[in-house]
Amino acid sequence: MTAQIIDGRKIAHVLKAEVTAEADDLRAQGTSCGLATVVVGDNYSSRAYERRLGRIATELRVRHEQVDLTADITQDEVLETIRRLNEDPAVSGILVLRPLPSHISEIEVFRALAPGKDIESVHPENVGLLALGTPRFVPSTAASVFHLLDAWLDSVGEDRASFYHRSLIVVVGRSNNVGKPAISLAYDREAAVMSVDEWASKEGRLGWHTRQADVLVVAAGVAGLIRAEHVRAGAVVIDVGINPLADPATGTVHMVGDVDFDGARARARAIAPVPGGVGPVTDVWLIRNTVAAARAANRH
């Protein structure tokens, strides 16, 4: 068996057209959409993601404000930056990129966000709404996992509801920004759901869990964690991992996933690769949430 590739770039292209039309419609009504990204320090992945979002925002005709803060900034200064963005009518969505320096309280920063501008649903109010199945915004990466799955199901002629109702979705990784929201979205689709984390690997039980999966979503942040022996024949594999890997000879950095692509592809029915799978859709979905925030603010 050689898995079908789930082409995130192709799916993102369709989504881009939808989001651009939505942004243009709002602009015609006199409502502007603006994304502000906040990065504290010089984390490579955060900086790369910020640059990518800037390019996508420009392409979709959405204003982007890049807020770069030094790693030695104080907590109060970060909170003051958030307050400024909350009050700025040109900013409809705010994204604080992780990780934050150890002396900055992540939860205090997230609590400071205006819930209506918290496009990744990290404010406690939005986390609660997501858990209740009534999200204000669906976090972009978890949303993109299921947008990919839905698009693939449509492409192969499978009924979405029937597929999810008979499937076990195993999510590897329990991060607040990907793993936990993905679990909530799997519940919303009335699938059977299993959640595992790094302890399953450390205790030698990872494969026992993952080989039961009809859909295996991997968001552990460990390059090459999932190998062929961890994948049930015929499963659908969605790799969410983004791990920077430097070439020892050239120093060039490229991104690899949490899944050994070649090994998993030999066993899976379908697979979303890294790069080119979840990532392109995530970028566009974040802009979509920014546009949705502007629309909601315009109604009030």
**Average pLDDT for 9-28:** 95
**Quick one: DSSP state of residue 297?**
H
Is 139-279 the same fold as 32-117? yes
Strand segments (E) across the chain = 4-5, 34-40, 63-69, 93-96, 168-172, 192-196, 215-218, 236-239, 243-246, 253-256, 270-272
Write down the pLDDT at residue 202.
81
- CB-CB neighbours of 114 under 10 Å: 16
pLDDT at 171 over 70: yes
Query: What are the residue ranges spanned by the domains of the chain?
Result: 32-117, 139-279
pLDDT at 1 over 80: no
Reported confidence tier of residue 252, pLDDT bands at 50, 70, 90: confident
Write down the pLDDT at residue 225.
94
**Quick one: DSSP state of residue 88?**
-
**What does the pLDDT look like over 48-62, one tens digit per residue?**
889 999 999 999 999
**Average pLDDT for 15-20:** 96
Q: What are phi and psi of 215, to 5 degrees?
A: -130, 125
Task: State how far the alpha carbon of 182 is from the alpha carbons of 127, 169, 173, in Å.
Answer: 12, 10, 10
pLDDT at 300 over 70: no
Q: Which residues contact 240 (CB under 8 A, 6 or more apart)?
A: 141, 145, 173, 178, 182, 217, 218, 219, 257, 258, 278
- Fold of the 32-117 domain: Rossmann fold (3.40.50)
- The gap from C-alpha 285 to its chain's centroid, in whole angstroms, comes to 8
* Bridging pattern class, strands 243-246 and 253-256: antiparallel
Q: What is the mean pLDDT of the chain?
A: 94
pLDDT at 282 over 90: yes
**What does the pLDDT look like over 72-124, one tens digit per residue?**
999 999 999 999 999 999 999 999 999 999 999 999 999 999 999 999 999 99
Write down the pLDDT at residue 248.
80
Query: What percent of the chain is modeled with pLDDT above 90?
Result: 87
Backbone Cα Rg of the chain: 19
**What does the pLDDT look like over 173-224, one tens digit per residue?**
999 999 999 999 999 999 999 999 877 878 889 999 999 999 999 999 999 9
Right CATH for 139-279 from 1.10.520.20, 3.20.20.140, 3.40.50.720, 1.10.3720.10: 3.40.50.720
Write down the pLDDT at residue 24.
94
pTM of this structure: 0.93
**Quick one: DSSP state of residue 231?**
S
